[in-house]
Amino acid sequence: MATAFGTVFMPEMAITWFDGKNWSPVEMVPSDRLTLHPGAHVLHYSSTCFEGLKAFRHADGSVNIFRMDKNLERMAQSSRLLTLPELDLKIAADMIKQTAARFADEVPAPPGSLYIRPTHIGTEAAVGKAAAPSETSCFYVLVSPVGDYFAGGDQALRLLLEENGMRCAPHMGMIKSGGNYASALQPIMKAKQEVQADQVLFCPNGDVQETGAANFLLIDGNEIITKALDESFLHGVTRDTILTLAKDLGMQVSERQLTVTELLERAAKPGCEAALSGTAAVLTPVGTLIHNGKEYPVGNGGIGQTVVKLRQTLNAIQWGEAEDKHGWLERVN
Ligand SMILES: *Cc1c(COP(=O)(O)O)cnc(C)c1O
C-alpha cells in the first residue's frame, strides 16, 4: 500500500455518547467528522485515551480480531486513571466487532490487516474544569485498512538512549493517552535530526524503559529480557504475546530491570538481538544503539534470526496459519 499507515479510513464508524448517566444507542455515522463544543474538556485538558488493535483476514474468508479483551481491559484502565466516565466494555466490544464486520470485505489479506482505533474523549464544555473531570464523554471506533508495515524493506532500527528526559510523567506511563505522545515528540524530533535515530529509547536514570510507542526487548541467546511491568510505561499487548510465545518456544523470559550499562555490555556480544514490539510494527529489529555520541551495534547490527522467528510465529497465529492455542482470535463475520 502506497499510503502512510493509518491515513485511510473506512467511511463509517460506530459511536456512542455518555450524558453523565447513560450511553446513547450505538450508531454508525460518517467517519470524517465529529461535532464537539470548542470548550470540550478533551481539547483543553487532554481527557483522552485510545487503543490500537488489528483484525486479520484468513484464507477461509473469516475476519478475526486479535486479543480484543486485553485491549479493552487496558482501555478501561486508561479511562479510570484519567477519571473519564467508566466504559461499558460489553458495548465497546460489540462496537468493535460490529465495525470490523461491517467492513469485513475490505480487510486486506496478510500481511495487511484492519487497524482498529477505539477512542474515548471527555466532551463536557467546561473550561473551568482544569482540575475536575468531564462528566460526559464520547466513545467511537475508527477503522483503517493497513498494508505491510515492512513494505519499504525490513531495516534494523537506530535507537538513541535517553537517560535524562522521560517519555511522560511517571504516573501516566501505563495510560494510552494523547498527552503522552505530545510530551515525547520534542526529544524524538531532536534525535532524528541530530543523530539520525529512528526512535528514542527512554531510559530515565539509566533504567531501560520503552520508546515513544513501542516496548523494548533484548534477546541474548535463549533469554529474552524486558522491563517488569510498573506504572511508568505502557503494558503492550504485543509484549505480552511475544513473551508468551517465547515461553512456548522454550526460551527463558526475564521480566526485570535492565540498566543502560548492562544493555550496552550485552548488546556487544555476537548473536545478541534487540527489538521493539507494538501492534503496528509487530516486532521490529533494532540494529544500533546510540549513547553519549557513540554508536553500538546490537550483535552484528542487522536483523536477528530470533526476532524473525518470533515475528513469524506471531504472524502465523494472526493469519490463521498456525493453531491459536491461547484463544487470542475472535471471529466477527
Ligand atoms: C501502544 C503502545 C505500545 C505497544 O502496545 P501494543 O499493545 O503492543 O500495541 C507500547 N508503548 C506505548 C507508549 C504505546 O502507546
pLDDT in tens, 21-57: 999 999 999 999 999 999 999 999 999 999 999 999 9
HEC profile of 302-318: CCCHHHHHHHHHHHHHH
Q: How far, in Å, is the centroid of ligand 1 from the Cα of 215? A: 6
Going by pLDDT thresholds of 50, 70 and 90, the confidence category of residue 9 is very high
71 Cα nearest atom in ligand 1: 7
Q: How far, in Å, is the centroid of ligand 1 from the Cα of 235? A: 7
Which residue has the least CA distance to atom 10 on ligand 1? 214
Q: How far, in Å, is the centroid of ligand 1 from the Cα of 220? A: 23
pLDDT of residue 1: 45
Going by pLDDT thresholds of 50, 70 and 90, the confidence category of residue 311 is very high
Q: How far, in Å, is the centroid of ligand 1 from the Cα of 9? A: 21
Is pLDDT above 60 for 179?
Answer: yes
Local structure of 45: helix, strand or coil: helix
Residues with Cβ within 6 A of ligand 1? Answer: 52, 176, 210, 213-215, 234, 236-239, 277-279
In this prediction, what percent of the chain has a pLDDT beyond 70?
Answer: 98
Mean pLDDT of the residues in the chain = 96
Which residue has the least CA distance to atom 3 on ligand 1? 214
280 Cα nearest atom in ligand 1: 9
Mean pLDDT of 274-292: 96
pLDDT of residue 277: 98
Q: How far, in Å, is the centroid of ligand 1 from the Cα of 53? A: 10
Going by pLDDT thresholds of 50, 70 and 90, the confidence category of residue 2 is low
Q: Which domains does the chain have, with CATH numbers?
A: 12-146 (3.30.470.10), 157-318 (3.20.10.10)
Cα 1 to Cα 8: distance, rounded to the nearest angstrom? 10
On the CB side of 99, how many CA atoms lie within 13 Å of its CA?
Answer: 34
Mean pLDDT of 260-270: 96
pLDDT of residue 152: 56
Which burial class, exposed, middle or buried, applies to 131 when counting CB atoms under 10 A from its CB (0-12, 13-18, 19+)?
exposed
| Helices within 103-208 (DSSP H only) | 178-195
Q: Are 275 and 239 in contact (CB under 8 A)?
A: no
215 Cα nearest atom in ligand 1: 10
pLDDT of residue 148: 79
Which residue has the least CA distance to atom 12 on ligand 1? 213
In this prediction, what percent of the chain has a pLDDT beyond 90?
Answer: 95
